[in-house]
Copies of this chain bind each other. A is one copy, B any other.
């Protein structure tokens, strides 16, 4: 059996679960490498994946005997089959943070489940810690992101639109990777004051501020990087804010290591921003992996220690409504004694 399914079986034993239903497709991808629509059942003796006609051929071509997964076409699963899957299971786990309320009720009925048990995101928690292979994919994704950023700095010229620049970035990624980790943000001028700006037809000016937030996917694994940079020169009014964001981003990198608390990390940045009259209006960071946003979250509500081989972002930002904003973001790997920035692009004033 593949090691991730074996891990889950061990975890189930320790939780006294005789069965589990996995429906979150990202968790299924993580456990089995299957990237389709369907549901994964671990019963007492078998691993079962139920999908439909659209994916049967693909799923068979992805799995090997070694995976020990039996594939069913949903149209071939009878009412009796459903009732038999968990027949001798006292406790069956489910993903309460993914399963909808209506599916929850439907599954209890359809599978005749005795005791349907919340599993407190066991798989998401396991996904926080990346193995060597996962980190290799993320290093590749980060490297291509750095390369893309170097390229795009030479590409941007006054008169181009934000959309045009976003297209160029996305084509760069598509030619070299599985595609985008998320919709690219290219914001210029006053648009930089919106943390989640969507690229518009606004044209780059001869003196302008630009924020680009971008990432790609390598074998499913994401990268995430943001830089704010300048055309012509750095406006005097922006400098103190840029310096404050950069100082906090660098200090956070210096703090991040195994054992460091996510809430404390956030509080330190919040306090320094407040001292200077600004607010941190979004999270300081988030986990990255098969999803662009995943556990652990680094914000004032979270409260857990970073662990070795977590991969997270570090992205403080300050936004002055209607005027401008600055965000600087890297994807970093946590180690025992510090952290390694996977994205390595320049962070001091960049002027094109």
The answer, yes or no, to whether A147 is at the interface (CB within 8 Å) is no
Mask: chain A, 83-111; 1 = CB below 8 Å from B; 0 = not: 00000000000101111111011000000
What residues of chain B lie closer than 8 Å to A96, measured between beta carbons? Answer: 100-102, 105
Q: Is the CB of B57 within 8 A of A282?
A: no
Q: Is the CB of B281 within 8 A of A53?
A: yes
Give the CA-CA distance A321 to B175 in the complex, in Å: 28
Give the CA-CA distance A203 to B118 in the complex, in Å: 48
User: Contacting chain B: which of A191-199, A257-265, A306-314, A342-350?
Assistant: A191-199
Nearest CB on B from A166, distance (A): 8
What residues of chain B lie closer than 8 Å to A174, measured between beta carbons? Answer: 163, 167, 170
Nearest CB on B from A318, distance (A): 11
The answer, yes or no, to whether A279 is at the interface (CB within 8 Å) is yes
Please judge, given known A-B contacts A99-B101, A163-B174, A174-B163, whether A281 and B118 are in contact too, CB under 8 Å: no
The answer, yes or no, to whether A67 is at the interface (CB within 8 Å) is no
Nearest CB on B from A351, distance (A): 27
Give the CA-CA distance A170 to B53 in the complex, in Å: 27
What residues of chain B lie closer than 8 Å to A170, measured between beta carbons? Answer: 174
The answer, yes or no, to whether A58 is at the interface (CB within 8 Å) is yes
What residues of chain B lie closer than 8 Å to A57, measured between beta carbons? Answer: 193-194, 319, 321-322
Nearest CB on B from A83, distance (A): 19
Nearest CB on B from A193, distance (A): 7
Nearest CB on B from A36, distance (A): 8
Q: Is the CB of B279 within 8 A of A53?
A: yes
What residues of chain B lie closer than 8 Å to A193, measured between beta carbons? Answer: 57
Mask: chain A, 282-311; 1 = CB below 8 Å from B; 0 = not: 100000000000000000000000000000
Mask: chain A, 157-200; 1 = CB below 8 Å from B; 0 = not: 00000010001001100110000000000000000011110000
Which of B55, B118, B321 is in CB contact (< 8 Å) with A102?
A: B118
The answer, yes or no, to whether A54 is at the interface (CB within 8 Å) is yes
The answer, yes or no, to whether A52 is at the interface (CB within 8 Å) is yes
8 Å CB interface, A127-176 against B: 163, 167, 170-171, 174-175
Nearest CB on B from A25, distance (A): 13
Q: Is the CB of B282 within 8 A of A195?
A: no
Nearest CB on B from A184, distance (A): 11
Please judge, given known A-B contacts A57-B321, A171-B171, A196-B54, whether A100 and B102 are in contact too, CB under 8 Å: no
Nearest CB on B from A21, distance (A): 12
Can you add 7 more A-B contacts, CB < 8 Å, to A97-B102, A99-B100, A171-B171? Answer: A52-B282, A53-B279, A98-B100, A101-B101, A167-B171, A167-B174, A170-B174
